[in-house]
Chains A and B, each alone.
Chain A
Amino acid sequence: MRDAAGLTSASRAQRQPRGGIGAAINASFRYWSLLPAILIFAALTLYPLLNLMRMSVSTIDFVRGAEVWTFTPLRNLESLASDDVLRPAVVNTVVFVAVSVAFEMVLGVALAIAVAGLPRAKRIVRTLAILPILVPPVAIGSMWKLMYNYDFGIFNQALVAVGLMPVNWLGSTSIALASVIVVDIWHWVPFVFLILFAAVEGIPPDLIEAAHVDGASRWQTTRLVTLPLLRPAIVVAFLFRAILAFKVFDEVFLLTAGGPGTSTELVNLHLYKVFFEQNRLGYGALLSLAVIGAIVAFLLVSRRAALAIGRKS
Chain B
Amino acid sequence: MNYEFDFGLVLSHWRVFVWGTWTTIKMTLIAAVSGLCVAVVCAWVKTSGPRWSCWIVNAYIELIRNTPFLVQLFFFFFALPAVGLRWSPFVAALVAMIVNLGAYATEIIRAGIQSIPRGQIEAGKALNLKPWQIFRYIVIGPALRTIFPALTSQLTLLMLSSSVVSAISADDLTSVASNLQSQTFRSFEIYLCVAAIYLALAIGMNGLFKLVRRRFLDYPQQGVT
Partners in one complex: no
